[in-house]
Amino acid sequence: MSNSDFIASIAPGAKAAHIAHGVPASATMAQAILESGWGKSGLTTKACNLFGIKADSSWHGDSVLMPTTEYFKGVKTTVNAPFRKYATLADSIEDHALFLRNNKRYAPAFLCSDGCGFAVSIARCGYATDPKYADLLKGLIKQHNLSQYDNQDYAKQVCLFK
């Protein structure tokens, strides 16, 4: 699948999640691209998990144990961790939006009016351990013009956090 085909395949779910839950489609799509390696990661192919959402004690669905890279005090480390497993990519997108919306930790992100601001905010709130996470997401949003997928009621189509 080409990069443009991958974007086209996740755009409807990302736009629906934006309307239903307020997560900018551009941020969802950038995270899916980054976290899944354009849909080609082992976690995505084995578990339809686009976002690297782990299966903690609050998860009541299927899970899969996979190696993952984490940063502990700036040191890159590979660990095995349980991840949520989904039946479809659409289920992964919906659960990602609910995960962010229902987790008070990410509440500040919902004050952002665009995908880049949202990306910076979730990174600051600890979504990922990679210190470059926000910059990587913003770069993907800009490089692939993902802001075009944002609902006009939520987004100003401008990246506020440069």
CA dist., res. 38 & res. 89, Å (int): 12
- Active site members: 70, 95
- Provide the pLDDT for residue 152: 56
- What pLDDT band is residue 158 in, cutting at 50, 70 and 90? very low
Residue 110: name the closest of 95, 98, 92 by CA: 98
Which positions ≥6 away from 48 have C-beta within 8 Å? Answer: 85, 86, 87, 88, 89, 91, 92
Out of 55-59, 95-99, 125-129, 148-152, give the one with best mean pLDDT: 95-99
CA dist., res. 74 & res. 19, Å (int): 36
The full set of domains in the chain, from first to last, is: 3-51+86-149 (1.10.530.10)
154, two tokens: 């939520």
Residue 33: name the closest of 140, 153, 159, 161 by CA: 140
Backbone angles phi, psi at 65, to 5 degrees: -90, 125
Mean pLDDT, residues 13-40 taken together: 96
What's the pTM? 0.85
